[in-house]
Structure 1
């Protein structure tokens, strides 16, 4: 029998419906086809309940999803909220479809996730890129300068500018001045939309930054499965004010969402919201204290730089290894051998994702294993190379949509220099594009990709992950 260990049932309508289904349904003549028979394929399908004819009737007469979304909107101070089982990817794509018409321009950070580039293809929008400055000491991105946003908005042409899409915090945990970005966007009469996939916890403890809506953004997308406790793929789309048309957004969400959403994911989003609302400050406070102790301990490792300070997410542990001479991928492999995988590792950087589910004991163990792995791999200090995505200045030639639908051909990578890419290529993690459809392939692009590959990153989304060949426009 399923349990509700923290007593959230009455505070989370979708969780309540999920528990009621498990308790009361003997055999449903609806999808999913496994009919909850774990004797057929095992525990992998245990707990799988659909939204329709699961958490609600097939006609959605109970309104459980709508009520859960209303509660989330209230918690974040939003006017509208939609839950998604498609991750922040779905939210980014829906908002891109909601803000403009094909041919419009949007200001977009080059630290954007690849989902925003594919959103440009879907919506027919043209990017005006802003590239973050890089901290030479760490090789990591700094927040987008307010002046850069203003310059990009002015360059976009006010008649065609449809919105400003920025990512905050960045994958490595650095965050910027959302209030100032909002002032710039609103001065140009367009919405500011924040991809806050990694920041569902922001705003729920006095030692954390405010969340994007509280700071002045018009919309935010956040993953409930990253910093919170939801099932993988769970995300929220939150909108405030009238700069984004409500009906258009609703149509965009439905157009890009599955018609068979997993009720278990939706229920976990609702449960995570209820937990955050009731116990978030307490849980976050405890893990913040543990992370502070871990940061201080790691900062004592000779040569190791631990990202810290007011512009860094206090829950994210980002380590720069170049001063130790250790290679991040080798350190990661040692951590994997000890059952301590981390979120990301490349030559010089390791990112450990910490959430309110971590304990002081978990973080102490991480520090023990991290220090041992770094000492075992210690070598000659060197300058940080920086992530590939931040070492390349994009050269747009065609719009992403034009390039996606254009005739294409495969050429040897050396022969591709000067040609226009027909594909998106990104080292993963973090999945930030080094090359987007419609951009010119330069020697710097190929060098950055090959260096990322050599350092141990997976080359993602490319037609040829070996980089021997590239897909280009004919």
Structure 2
């Protein structure tokens, strides 16, 4: 029996849906994305009815369109038993693209991936060499795993007041002093796009018989156009953490953990990686987030060269206009992400947080602002008209906030050299008490405090609270910055480790 003449053809509706949601035809090489498209079409046509989680049942009746497209992996894109093998197929494609044999997709962002690595590289009490400009997620990973960090510090760019890469010599010295170390962990590129010598770090780590782990959260686009640096795995790193949602068109919380486990070096155990990953992984992963990782991988593989080239042109045009602003500097150079737009304001006298407020009032949001720095994120999703409008608004806002030029200063996140009294895990679980700020100086911190962004800890559990740290954090707060993760973000009080004779929580 045929369909009534006025009944829409479901095949035509499906084709229209796929065309509108997959304009570049990525689904043919993206199994999770293809499954999301099929299931979404079924939901929209009414052919698919959910009697499984999530509880919104893809219905807009209660919360409106907020949940559109929020489809699960289990009993959604695939069966509860994952009998279709879609996730494994998508992860294998990503591993092949980055030239390794192991990959997992995370819906918990680079935070989850960093913590998984920490759980995989050592046992409680083991030593690891760690860049101090690590993201707070890696530090919390050290706490979870009970690892003992030996800090290494980046070089500092005196001209711009920003961190550069961790010197190879510093890592070599730390490994020589700590032959018991199990791994080297660095963040590269930095939050502000500066890069280090990953190949040199990898060679140094391997000479000591340990793996190099790179938190490359901001570098998911590296390695897919000759104008960008190679990705860390191509330079010899053993594992790489990537945030697909930062520089690729994936959904928030989308990340990848990639590793080389079958090389002759054998420095990473795939079973430990699996257990470390699963320890913090949700058992109800978002199929939509996973599909967005899959689609972003396919986009890089098939269109990355063209789109990343267009991004270079967008950024170059923005830089040329911004350089005409008296006193304003844009960070460039061989050791920087060529897509990152990092604007320095000391020469203009303008306060970045006030410039940011003007931008928000005009309808523009940017990734980061502190007193001296603005970081508007540019990605492959940007187009010239919007970038041009942003640059015009930045120029106007800086001129309206212009003042007397000031000296270049290093933010506390980049210049702090901690005094360590206890292993982070010990201080985290120790009895603690709340004391006034003036009484906290000289005491051991029980909490992690980081100006955000960039989320780099200025104070970690087990470190001595100094007057310099208190003053630096207060300057950030005074300038309008956010003091993150502190029990008291006003910095009136601090959480400190209680002496053995003092009762505490």
Partner of 2:9 in structure 1? none
Partner of 1:148 in structure 2? 170
Distance 1:44 1:304 in 2: 41
Partner of 1:292 in structure 2? 316
Task: Please tell me whether the aligned partners of residues 326 and 374 of structure 1 are also in contact (alpha carbons under 8 angstroms).
Answer: yes
Partner of 2:252 in structure 1? 232
Shift of 1:338: 1.2
Counterpart among 58, 67, 70 of residue 45 in structure 1: 67
Task: Please tell me whether the aligned partners of residues 287 and 360 of structure 1 are also in contact (alpha carbons under 8 angstroms).
Answer: no
Distance 2:453 2:370 in 1: 9
Counterpart among 2, 6, 19 of residue 37 in structure 2: 19
| Deviation sequence 1:134-193 (CA, Å, 0-9, x none) | 2221111121111111112222x213x110000000000100110000011111100000
Counterpart among 288, 301, 326 of residue 302 in structure 1: 326
Distance 2:347 2:276 in 1: 47
Larger Rg: 2
| Deviation sequence 1:34-74 (CA, Å, 0-9, x none) | 11111111111111111100110000000000000000001
Aligned to 2:162, what secondary structure does the other structure show? coil
Counterpart among 343, 348, 351 of residue 327 in structure 1: 351
| Deviation sequence 1:185-241 (CA, Å, 0-9, x none) | 111100000000000000000000000000110000000000000000000000013
Output aligned runs, 1:208-219, within 5 Å: 208-219=228-239
Partner of 2:98 in structure 1? 76
Alpha-carbon RMSD across the aligned residues, in angstroms, is 0.9
Structure 1: unaligned runs, 5 residues or longer: none
Structure 2: unaligned runs, 5 residues or longer: 1-16, 499-505
* TM-score, normalization by structure 2: 0.92
Partner of 1:194 in structure 2? 214
Distance 2:52 2:303 in 1: 36
Task: Please tell me whether the aligned partners of residues 132 and 144 of structure 1 are also in contact (alpha carbons under 8 angstroms).
Answer: yes
Matched, 1:246 2:270: yes
| Deviation sequence 1:226-280 (CA, Å, 0-9, x none) | 0000000000000013311000100111111001000000000000101111001
Task: Please tell me whether the aligned partners of residues 392 and 448 of structure 1 are also in contact (alpha carbons under 8 angstroms).
Answer: no
Partner of 1:463 in structure 2? 487
Shift of 1:98: 0.4
Shift of 1:329: 0.4
Distance 1:371 1:420 in 2: 44
Aligned to 1:236, what secondary structure does the other structure show? strand
Counterpart among 90, 96, 101 of residue 112 in structure 2: 90
Counterpart among 388, 392, 404 of residue 380 in structure 1: 404
Matched, 1:169 2:189: yes
Distance 1:300 1:311 in 2: 23
Partner of 1:279 in structure 2? 303
Partner of 1:257 in structure 2? 281
Counterpart among 125, 134, 147 of residue 147 in structure 2: 125
Partner of 1:114 in structure 2? 136
* TM-score, normalization by structure 1: 0.98
Aligned to 1:38, what secondary structure does the other structure show? coil
Distance 1:126 1:137 in 2: 33
Task: Please tell me whether the aligned partners of residues 36 and 45 of structure 1 are also in contact (alpha carbons under 8 angstroms).
Answer: yes
Counterpart among 233, 243, 261 of residue 223 in structure 1: 243
Matched, 1:158 2:176: no
Matched, 1:473 2:494: no
Distance 1:23 1:362 in 2: 31
Matched, 1:137 2:159: yes
Shift of 1:133: 2.5
Shift of 1:364: 1.2
Partner of 2:501 in structure 1? none
Partner of 1:389 in structure 2? 413
Shift of 1:388: 1.3
Partner of 1:179 in structure 2? 199
Distance 2:146 2:125 in 1: 6
Counterpart among 9, 16, 20 of residue 27 in structure 2: 9
Aligned to 1:214, what secondary structure does the other structure show? helix
Matched, 1:446 2:464: no
Count of aligned pairs between the two proteins: 472
Shift of 1:26: 2.0
Distance 2:151 2:471 in 1: 21
| Deviation sequence 1:102-138 (CA, Å, 0-9, x none) | 1111111111000011001100001101122322211
